[in-house]
Amino acid sequence: MVIVSSSNFLDLDLDNQKKIKLGLDLQGGSYLLLELDNEPVIKQKLQSKLLEIKDYFKKNKIKILSLKLDDKLIKLKVSKDDVEKVEKIFNDKESTINPYYFQYKGHQLNVKINGDVFNLELSKYGIILIKNASLDQAIEIVRKRVDEVGTNEPNILKRGNDRILLELPGLDNPDRIKSLLGKTADLAFRLESKSSNESFGTEKLKLIETGEELLLSKRVIISGDNLVDASPRMDSLNNQTVVSFTLDRVGSKRFAQATKRNIGTRLAIVLDGQIISAPVIRDVIAGGSGQISGGFTFQSATDLALLLRSGALPAPLNIIEERTVGPDLGQDSINAGILSLIIGFLLVIGFMTLKYRIFGIIANFTLIINLILLISILTLLEATLTLPGIAGIILTVGMAVDANVLIFERIKEETSKEKNNLIAFDIGYSKSKITILDANITTIIAAIILFIFGSGPVKGFSITLCVGILTTLFSVFFIARLLTSIYVKINKHKEIIIK
Amino acid sequence: MKKDYKFNQYYKSLNIFSITLILLSLIFLIFKGLNYGVDFKGGTLIEIRVETEKPDIEVLRSSFNKLNLGKISIKNFGSDNDFVVKFKRDELNDPEFIENLQKNLSQELTQDFSFRRVENVGPKVSSELLKAGVTAICLSLIAMLIYIWIRFEWQFSVGAIAALFHDVIITLGIFSALSLEINLSIVAAVLTIVGYSMNDTVVIYDRVRENLKKYSDIKIFDLTNLSINETLSRTIITSSTTLLALVSIFLFGGEILKGFSLAMILGVILGTYSSIFIANPLLVFFKVSQKTVLKEDN
């Protein structure tokens, strides 16, 4: 054990293969916690469930008297004679319209029957599955966007079923990433509508640049999904920055048809509920590529192209926590941490030498071994070292001597009763063992609870504290014990005085 | 060099002293409350460095006041050039907020400055963090209770837990009285104090139990005193080395660790005191005797 970790410690200096990772508070960087606002996704899912139910009943020739969505409740009314049959359909374990029973021992929809009306709402499992799916999708897109910006080793983690943790080391200004992640990037090409009674429905949206309101059809001609590529470009004709895009096959076909039929109409390019631009269609656009102009700067065109390439988020992401540390503050923290570690270490070592002389030196040697072990194990575990983590190491230095002190004090007592040094030392060790274990287990319990509930840098503290206690116990019971027994054997017949 | 200090003479007077401190702390905690940082209250914290000699905090304050951020607090942070600015902001979604703030501030403030640290905590996260912190502290107390219940007799558990409550309440009381900020690292400190104080109590209790088995003729009142004396040098040395390490963090570890190390220093002093003057008098109060520990062994 000791050989493995100390050789690893040497490796650390030789080829730098395994390193202690520095936390964001030490190396500088940004920590963002994002939350996915799943409400629209859930609503959408319920809408499509409504259609699914309609199809299913049609296929099975059951008459629906009424079917509507009331907030998050699907209300289904059937004729009285069908109630029993419909109930069976929804509660069947192999039901295709109300699935998941075999995976989760629970259905997708909870069914409550009120006379001839079925009240259907998403069950716990139904909601979790929707959330998980949209979170996975969101993580993919977040990863694409962050990678495109080109940050150093970003760390993207799932937290629960609607949160994403984003760690961006070395980034001291997360504003660009934040603004990129703040956009859903839901792109749609829609036509201007002449009258408000169109079959697809219409809505009024604003043009960003002019504030002009346009009445648009709700029919989406092509969406962001149809895009294969997008990039910023300088339009040489009017010296404007534009975003040029390429469509997939389906998109190209639809785009060509729509432009052919609607020459003279305005085509609105809608991003996240706002119109970027709405040029008048002058000709058929058949090649499957085009460009969006909208008074972009080169930066905003680059960002829009990036967003379009990485795809739309399934739902809006909200930043609910942000912590950014500049690199110079991180360096200051490292310096302060190391300075206080060295001073704390020297103070403790000086104190122990003054107090216990030769045994103090043994305790100090043990402490050094202990520190080396602690750092090696943290390296082996590839733990992240944070500022509170350094504080944990310093605290370990202060508390680690406790075990040796307990033993020395006990031996002191025993030597006053027992003349044989060897026996006195043995009793000293065995009698203090239980006390030392008891005392250290209490600190470990506290540290483990802190690890479970703590977040970020504080977790680093609990890890160093935990590992520190284990290495302390090891070094006291093996290293210090070995050293003291050698010393006692040499001085078997002399009177040994522990001050 | 056998020590024989009469600690037990002070049991009564120091218990009254402790109860007074606890009551005072509770009064502060209830009526004044704790000064939660952005971790637990939500809002924005900016650590700003102003690059001139001796910048004037009032100039900085008036510059910030012109930015319409609502109620702000500005405090010097460590060196003369560093300040911490805090204000409430519920909406964290404006990605350009910090950038704009930096721009607007540079129009107000003539000196060069830089943002060294920015923390934004939304209301949802801060309430979750607070809940997690409180849960962690409560759970650690329960875990200690269970552990000591298994290892010792019930009289000992009550004594040890009373000592823990004493330390935690007074530490928090002092933080409340001095309006010191409570953040995530203070929770870490409180949990470590719980572990440390328990550690100290367990060492003395172990000795009390050992002595109870050894001497049937010494009354618990004197027996606790004997045990305290026997473990006294260990108690002093361990608290000294721990305090040396903590003082080093407090003085040299930088501004961010100040609150943490201060809480720990208070906790170690209180923990050492309570394991002598709270944990032991309670054993006397419960009239623990040789029978108490022997019964358990059979």
Token readout for A67 is 């079917």
Closest-approach residue (CA) in chain B for A348: B241
Asked whether the beta carbons of A439 and B202 are under 8 A apart, the reply is yes
Closest-approach residue (CA) in chain A for B45: A323
Strands A384-385 and A21-22, by their bridges, are: parallel
- The average pLDDT across A41-54 equals 85
Q: Which residues of B touch A465 (CB under 8 A)?
A: 192
Return the pLDDT at A66: 83
Closest-approach residue (CA) in chain B for A434: B206
Cβ neighbours of A186 (radius 10 Å) = 19
B175 vs A: CB within 8 A: no
If we measure between CA atoms, which residue out of B267, B98, B251 comes closest to residue B167? B267
Asked whether the beta carbons of B180 and B262 are under 8 A apart, the reply is yes
CA distance, residue A368 to nearest chain B CA (Å): 15
What SS3 class is residue A195?
Answer: coil
B116 vs A: CB within 8 A: yes
Strands B181-182 and B35-36, by their bridges, are: parallel
Token readout for A282 is 């002058």
Structural fold of domain A187-322: Gyrase A; domain 2 (3.30.1360)
The answer, yes or no, to whether residue A16 has pLDDT greater than 60, is no
Closest-approach residue (CA) in chain A for B259: A388
Contact between chains at B118 and A339 (C-beta distance less than 8 A) = no
- A 106-165 residues inside an 8 A Cβ radius of B: none
- Tens-place pLDDT, residues B207-226: 999 999 999 889 999 999 99
Asked whether the beta carbons of B158 and B286 are under 8 A apart, the reply is yes
If we measure between CA atoms, which residue out of A113, A276, A271, A267 comes closest to residue A207? A276
The answer, yes or no, to whether residue A10 has pLDDT greater than 60, is no
CATH of domain A2-26+326-490: 1.20.1640.10
The answer, yes or no, to whether residue B46 has pLDDT greater than 80, is yes
Element (H, E) at A320: strand A317-325
A232 vs B: CB within 8 A: no
The answer, yes or no, to whether residue B90 has pLDDT greater than 70, is no
Task: Kindly report which listed range (A315-319, A473-477, B67-71, B232-236) carries the lowest average pLDDT score.
Answer: B67-71
Contact between chains at A405 and B234 (C-beta distance less than 8 A) = yes
A405 vs B: CB within 8 A: yes
pLDDT band, very low/low/confident/very high, at A499 (cuts 50, 70, 90): low
Please report, as a single letter, which amino acid is at residue A297.
T
The answer, yes or no, to whether residue A298 has pLDDT greater than 50, is yes
- Tens-place pLDDT, residues A211-241: 888 888 888 888 888 888 998 988 877 788 8
We find that the CATH architecture of domain B43-121 is 2-Layer Sandwich (3.30)
- B 2-21 residues inside an 8 A Cβ radius of A: none
B241 vs A: CB within 8 A: yes
Return the pLDDT at B92: 64
- The structure tokens 């009943």 sit at A57
Q: Cα-flanking dihedrals φ and ψ of residue A97, to 5°?
A: -85, -25
Return the pLDDT at A46: 87
- The structure tokens 């006990």 sit at A410
Q: Cα-flanking dihedrals φ and ψ of residue A156, to 5°?
A: -120, 120
Q: How far is the first Cα of chain A from the last one, in angstroms, to the nearest whole number?
A: 33
Q: Which residues share a beta bridge with A187?
A: A271
Angstrom distance (rounded) from CA B8 to CA B220: 10
CA distance, residue B184 to nearest chain A CA (Å): 7
Domain with CATH 1.20.1640.10 in chain B: 7-37+125-297
If we measure between CA atoms, which residue out of A251, A248, A245 comes closest to residue A306? A245
What SS3 class is residue A190?
Answer: strand
- The average pLDDT across A299-306 equals 88
Asked whether the beta carbons of B270 and B166 are under 8 A apart, the reply is yes
Q: What is the mean pLDDT of chain A?
A: 86
CA angle B260, B257, B102 (to 5 degrees): 125
A46 vs B: CB within 8 A: no
Token readout for A399 is 């508390």
Q: Which residues of A touch B271 (CB under 8 A)?
A: none
If we measure between CA atoms, which residue out of B21, B37, B82 comes closest to residue A323? B37
We find that the CATH architecture of domain B7-37+125-297 is Up-down Bundle (1.20)
B261 vs A: CB within 8 A: yes
A391 vs B: CB within 8 A: yes
B280 vs A: CB within 8 A: no
CA distance, residue A245 to nearest chain B CA (Å): 26
Q: Which residues of B touch A390 (CB under 8 A)?
A: 253
A497 vs B: CB within 8 A: no
Return the pLDDT at A233: 87
Of the partner residues A182, A390, A435, the one whose CB lies closest to the CB of residue B203: A435
Contact between chains at B116 and A33 (C-beta distance less than 8 A) = no
If we measure between CA atoms, which residue out of A196, A70, A72, A184 comes closest to residue A137? A184
3-state secondary structure labels for all residues of A138-180: HHHHHHHHHHHHCCCCCEEEEECCCEEEEEEECCCCCHHHHHH
Return the pLDDT at A4: 41
Closest-approach residue (CA) in chain A for B200: A439
Question: Residue A113 burial by CB count (10 A; 0-12/13-18/19+): exposed, middle or buried?
Answer: middle
Token readout for B189 is 């400190």
Contact between chains at A318 and B248 (C-beta distance less than 8 A) = no
State the pTM of this model: 0.86
Strands B43-50 and B79-87, by their bridges, are: antiparallel
Contact between chains at B124 and A35 (C-beta distance less than 8 A) = yes
- The structure tokens 């998941």 sit at A100
Contact between chains at B233 and A461 (C-beta distance less than 8 A) = no
* Cα–Cα distances in angstroms (integers) from residue B25 to residues A323, A406, B136, B170, B271, in the given order: 32, 33, 21, 6, 16
- Tens-place pLDDT, residues A410-452: 988 888 887 788 888 888 899 899 889 988 998 899 999 999 9
Q: What is the ipTM of this complex?
A: 0.91
Angstrom distance (rounded) from CA A131 to CA A314: 10
B108 vs A: CB within 8 A: no
